């Protein structure tokens, strides 16, 4: 399914509605406010590039992560030494981030060759080639001809395995 209207129709058929925002805005801004609410809900921000198909799930990668987590726990994990810091300023970030090496989410940024940011996604789990493949498959009719990333070779194998 690579037609935007087909995809939106399919989402409505399975009960996924547009996100609701409680922001007050003018008539001309309503569409963008809804788009921003959907971005906040999903963590996928691609201004001007709508999703064309569902975000691909990779059960193989998820199973591998679960196995690695069990193996890590069986070994007793690793002691993480916390380095003491000097007092922070009042506006410094104090979020509690995961300390597990197996569950360290991040941000995946997609850029054009001219350094223009096309979009970014907040990851719920550790980065993997599967995320790159899923993001590209969801937003592009065809994969870009060239993709640069540190694990591009693995992403290519992932795409060949998962996408006809």
Of 58, 55, 59, 57, the C-alpha closest to 10 is 55
Say whether pTM exceeds 0.75: no
DSSP character string of 28-86: GGHHHHHHHHHHHHH-EE-TT----SPPPP-HHHHHHHHHHHHHHHHTT--PPPPPP-P
Decide the pairing of beta strands 107-111 and 44-45: unpaired
Between the alpha carbon of residue 117 and those of residues 27, 102, 108, 111, 121, the distances in Å are 28, 28, 11, 4, 12
In a domain, residue 32? The reply is: no
Instruction: Give how far Cα 102 sits from Cα of 122, 127, 128, 136, Å.
Output: 16, 10, 11, 24
Per-residue pLDDT at 101: 53
Task: Please state the domain count of the chain.
Answer: 1
pLDDT (tens digit per residue) in 38-54: 888 888 888 888 888 88
Query: Is position 157 within any domain?
Result: yes
CA distance 59 to 70: 17
Residue 52 lies in a domain: yes
**Phi and psi at residue 93, in whole multiples of 5°?**
-70, 135
Question: Residues in the chain with pLDDT < 50?
Answer: 79, 90
Amino acid 92: pLDDT = 55
Task: State pLDDT tens for residues 80-107.
Answer: 555 555 555 545 555 555 555 555 577 8
Full domain range(s) for residue 134: 45-57+102-164
Q: Which pLDDT value is given to residue 100?
A: 56
Asked whether residue 91 is domain-assigned, the answer is no
């Amino acid at each position: 399914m690579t037609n935007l209207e087909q995809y939106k129709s399919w989402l409505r058929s399975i009960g996924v509605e547009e996100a609701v925002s409680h922001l007050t805005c003018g008539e001309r801004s309503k569409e963008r406010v809804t788009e921003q609410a959907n971005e906040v809900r999903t963590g996928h921000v691609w201004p001007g590039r709508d999703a064309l198909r569902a975000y691909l799930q990779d059960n193989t990668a998820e199973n591998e992560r679960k196995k690695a987590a069990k193996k890590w726990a069986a070994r007793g994990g690793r002691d993480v030494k916390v380095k003491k810091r000097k007092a922070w300023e009042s506006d410094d970030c104090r979020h509690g981030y995961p300390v597990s090496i197996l569950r360290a989410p991040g941000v995946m940024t997609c850029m054009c060759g001219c350094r223009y940011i096309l979009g970014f996604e907040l990851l719920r789990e550790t980065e993997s080639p599967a995320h790159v493949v899923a993001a590209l498959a969801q937003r592009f009719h065809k994969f870009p001809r060239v993709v640069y990333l540190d694990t591009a070779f693995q992403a290519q194998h992932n795409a060949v395995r998962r996408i006809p």
